[in-house]
């Protein structure tokens, strides 16, 4: 970049500053991507999120903006900016002008087209290693470029996700279409007509890097809303339910789904875990139905899965469930189509999303919620926070809230998709959690997982960074790059005007009546694990019921199904699962028994005896909740 082009790239910013009465909130500045990074507090000016701001400025005005960083640190600029009566606009104008001068000087010395090392040293040769003579050994300590390139390659990958490793992401916007949301929540993201920037990551639960997309699996549907009050993460799936209620079972589920000690995936381990966890029967039935293999991510729904809460300005709470309905229709693949596509185009789901957005076919989803009052929750015949069950749409109808549209694909998969971090614990004022046991476990587990993957400063990555100021007393940690709190106090309370909590953001108490000692409570006894699965089975059309039977029987009897090819499932495990499905529906039990070639009566006896023995062991040291649901 020439010296003249540097000044030219900065001139629109300087002109915008001159045309505005103040820096903060200036419309001319906003067109160049400037957020308000300065706020006043007495006579002090605090720079907030300066590093992220400079990234956006750089995108807006080109490489010359690097000089602004130098200018902000320049003593002359600081001296001029500290004079009494100097407006914020004038201060930034002086900074930009000084930056242009510095950039002109720098541009005369450095040509950015010349390849450099990470430290900025120009390279003269990137094709030949340094050796002691033509046939001699390499001089590794002298060849900094050789070392640097290999060191960078060896460290290009962060710790992968244990589940949901492979996925695709896109940026977009969420627009509210419901003008009556204020009666449920004071969250600003739901103000009538408001648009909010969002990011979504779609993924396969058991998908490893390099995995085929078109396998039978649950899909992740993780959303990040960049609201003015912070990031709100809604980390859901394409299924409205899950396998179990208690988070203590989550590691065991993951182990049964992923590779075994031999390094192989196995239907034996999956069916063994599912059969010995009868509450999973609803989710398993869904998984082996048509929606178990969507045609692509664009043709599936998304769900928040858990019950959450909304709080309005009067601090009144309601329980809600989130639904995201695809506007591209629902389309699925059969097992045979999924297997065929796996061989022809294993990355089809990712490619389909990327190509659709780049061609202007922006995928859309409608957001709906179901709403349940606290009084209705108390009167419900089953636990409304049981994630293995759904809420009746007849009793709790869907309410349209808004629309999600995705219109931009990340330029760097690694930066924005691989390093994206979602956590259900990330909420904003007006939204809250629920007593859902599995949700309670996820509130801790997801943040802990991303702290392990990315470090405690992973929130500074562009895709994870809130679009609002951050005021905390957290300090240090690897790769801290946001100023680290500067010279301000690093503890609270303090006497130096640091940020303080505001009681107006306190949530109302969650209505939980807790009695009894702290111990392990058996939370499965008396719960009906089959009524909702039966309702789903009866909703399936006859041809889908046939496919469900065929898919389950093939995976157990032959050990083959889209995504996994393993040894057949032992007869004992088949019998236990047959017992569970026969309890869902008699017709389902008879048809599955015939497909497996098993005698239903003897299988029922084996399954009942096995599970009774298991329950006896599992509940020996627990307090039983003896109040049945229905």
Instruction: Express each pLDDT in 223-272 by its tens digit.
Output: 999 999 999 999 999 999 999 999 999 999 999 999 999 999 999 999 99
Residue 529 lies in a domain: no
pLDDT at 21: 37
**Residue-by-residue DSSP string for 446-457:** HHHHHHHHH-TT
585: left (phi over 0), alpha (psi -120 to 50) or beta: beta
Residue 6: exposure state from Cβ atoms within 10 A (0-12, 13-18, ≥19):
buried
Residue 282 lies in a domain: no
Residue 357 lies in a domain: yes
Residue 90: exposure state from Cβ atoms within 10 A (0-12, 13-18, ≥19):
middle
pLDDT at 23: 36
Do 326 and 228 lie in one domain? The reply is yes
Do 234 and 368 lie in one domain? The reply is yes
DSSP secondary-structure letter at 159?
Answer: P
The reply to whether 237 belongs to the active site is yes
Number of Cβ atoms within 10 Å of the Cβ of 112:
10
Q: Give the domain-ending residue among 485, 500, 534.
A: 485
Please answer whether residues 39 and 60 qualify as being in contact, where contact means their C-beta atoms are separated by less than 8 angstroms: no
Do 193 and 80 lie in one domain? The reply is no
pLDDT at 531: 94
Instruction: Say which of 145, 164, 301, 524 is annotated catalytic.
Output: 164
pLDDT at 31: 41
Structural domain for 339, as ranges: 167-247+290-485
Domain count along the chain: 2
Residue 422 lies in a domain: yes
pLDDT at 87: 56
End-to-end CA distance of the chain: 74
Residue 172 lies in a domain: yes
pTM to 2 decimal places: 0.80
The CATH number linked to 454 is 2.40.180.10
The reply to whether 451 belongs to the active site is no
Do 95 and 182 lie in one domain? The reply is no
Residue 573 lies in a domain: no
Do 330 and 199 lie in one domain? The reply is yes
Residue 302 lies in a domain: yes
Cα separation, 262 vs 206, in Å, equals 17
Strand-strand pairing, 521-522 and 623-624: parallel
Instruction: Say which of 145, 231, 237, 457 is annotated catalytic.
Output: 237
Do 212 and 350 lie in one domain? The reply is yes
Do 95 and 178 lie in one domain? The reply is no
Do 102 and 189 lie in one domain? The reply is no
Please answer whether residues 325 and 250 qualify as being in contact, where contact means their C-beta atoms are separated by less than 8 angstroms: no
Residue 7 lies in a domain: yes
Do 61 and 175 lie in one domain? The reply is no
Do 294 and 434 lie in one domain? The reply is yes
Q: Give the domain-ending residue among 485, 510, 529.
A: 485
Positions of the chain with pLDDT under 70:
1-112, 511-514, 523-527, 621-630
């Amino acid at each position: 970049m020439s010296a003249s082009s540097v000044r030219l790239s900065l001139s629109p910013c300087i002109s915008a500053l001159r045309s505005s009465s103040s820096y903060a909130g200036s419309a001319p500045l906003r067109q160049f991507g400037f957020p308000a990074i300065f706020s006043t507090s007495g006579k002090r000016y605090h720079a907030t999120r300066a590093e992220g701001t400079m990234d956006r400025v750089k995108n807006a005005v080109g490489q010359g903006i690097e000089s602004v960083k130098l200018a902000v640190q320049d003593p002359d600029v600081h001296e001029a900016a500290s004079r009494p009566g100097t407006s914020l606009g004038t201060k930034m104008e002086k900074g930009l002008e000084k930056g242009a001068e510095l950039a002109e000087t720098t541009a005369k010395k450095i040509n950015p087209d010349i390849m450099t090392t990470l430290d900025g040293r120009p390279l003269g040769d990137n094709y030949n290693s340094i050796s002691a003579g033509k046939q001699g050994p390499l001089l590794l300590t002298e060849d900094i470029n050789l070392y640097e390139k290999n060191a960078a390659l060896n460290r290009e990958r962060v710790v992968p996700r244990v589940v949901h490793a492979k996925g695709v992401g896109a940026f977009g916007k969420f627009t509210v279409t419901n003008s009556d949301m204020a009666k449920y929540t004071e969250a600003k993201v739901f103000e009538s007509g408001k648009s909010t920037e969002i990011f979504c990551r779609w993924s396969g639960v058991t998908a490893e890097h390099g995995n085929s997309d078109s396998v039978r699996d649950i899909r992740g549907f993780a959303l990040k809303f960049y609201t003015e009050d912070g990031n709100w993460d809604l980390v859901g799936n394409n299924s409205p339910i899950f396998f179990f209620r208690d988070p203590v079972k989550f590691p065991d589920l993951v182990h049964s789904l992923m590779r075994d000690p031999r390094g192989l995936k196995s239907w034996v381990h999956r069916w063994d875990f599912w059969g010995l966890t009868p509450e999973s029967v609803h989710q398993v039935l869904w998984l082996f139905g048509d929606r178990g293999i969507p045609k692509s991510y664009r043709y599936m729904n998304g769900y928040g899965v858990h019950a959450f809460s909304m709080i309005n300005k009067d601090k009144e709470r309601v329980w809600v469930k989130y639904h995201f309905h695809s506007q591209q229709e629902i389309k699925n693949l059969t097992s045979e189509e999924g297997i065929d596509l796996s061989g022809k185009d294993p990355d089809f789901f990712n490619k389909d999303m990327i190509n659709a957005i780049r061609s202007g076919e922006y995928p859309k989803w409608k957001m709906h919620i179901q709403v349940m009052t606290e009084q209705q929750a108390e009167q419900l015949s089953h636990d409304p926070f049981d994630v293995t069950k759904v809420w009746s749409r007849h009793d709790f109808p869907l309410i349209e809230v808004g629309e999600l549209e995705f219109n931009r694909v990340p330029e760097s998969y690694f930066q924005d998709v691989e390093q994206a971090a979602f956590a259900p614990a990330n909420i904003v004022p007006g939204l809250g959690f629920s007593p859902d046991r599995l949700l309670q476990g996820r509130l801790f587990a997801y943040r802990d997982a991303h702290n392990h993957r990315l470090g405690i400063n992973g929130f500074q990555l562009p895709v994870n960074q809130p679009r609002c100021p951050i005021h905390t007393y957290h300090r240090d940690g690897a790769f801290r790059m946001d100023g680290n709190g500067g010279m301000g106090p690093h503890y609270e309370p303090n006497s130096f005007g640091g940020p303080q909590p505001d009681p107006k953001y306190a949530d109302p108490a969650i209505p939980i009546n807790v009695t009894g000692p702290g111990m392990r409570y058996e939370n499965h006894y008396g719960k009906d694990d089959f009524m909702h699965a039966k309702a789903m089975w009866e909703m399936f059309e006859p041809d889908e019921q046939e496919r469900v039977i065929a898919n389950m029987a093939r995976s157990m009897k032959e050990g083959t199904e889209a995504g996994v090819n393993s040894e057949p499932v032992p007869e004992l495990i088949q019998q236990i699962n047959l017992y569970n499905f026969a309890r869902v529906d008699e017709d389902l039990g008879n048809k599955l028994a015939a497909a497996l070639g098993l005698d239903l009566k003897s299988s029922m006896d084996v399954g009942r005896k096995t599970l009774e023995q298991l329950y006896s062991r599992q509940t020996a040291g627990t307090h039983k909740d003896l109040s049945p649901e229905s």
